[in-house]
Amino acid sequence: MDFSSIVILLFGSTFGLILRIFVQNNFKKSIGFDIKNTTIVNFLSSFFLGILVSYDFTNNEILVLFYSGFLGCFSTFSSFIYQLFNLSKNRKFLRLVFHYIEAIIFSFFFFYLGYLVIHFFKWQ
């Protein structure tokens, strides 16, 4: 990885982190089965990923900026795993199963929605 790729990665990750903190601090509502704001971030991240995949970029700098940098810091997979761990530790197994299924299904739904939105506008 050359110096320009590192700078692009740092720029994308900084923007992703700032946006994640903004969303987590400004959307204080719980939804579903006691889901925290990190789930909202994961849904948005999945939506953005669907949009980016539908564009099918071949430019390596754009891939580093958005896929690795921005989405790598914006999405919160480790927080999702931590939430599952806490539910397991507190022996709330039914909530754990519902939270897991809900997060996976809705994340896939938002990914596909982002993908379809771009394809819809490409065909117009």
Q: Which residue has the tokens 């754009």?
A: 62
- Cα 3-9-10 angle, rounded to 5 deg: 90
Whether the per-residue pLDDT at 35 is higher than 60: the answer is: no
- The whole-chain average pLDDT of the chain stands at 84
Cα 41 from Cα 31, distance rounded (Å):
13
Q: Which of 122, 22, 20, 32 is nearest to 79 (CA)?
A: 20
Residue spans per domain, the chain: 3-123
Cα 104 from Cα 89, distance rounded (Å):
21
What confidence tens digit (pLDDT) does each residue in 59-100 have?
888 888 888 889 888 887 777 888 889 889 999 999 899 888
First to last CA, the chain: 38
What confidence tens digit (pLDDT) does each residue in 10-19 have?
999 999 989 9
Secondary structure of residue 124 in the 3-state scheme? coil
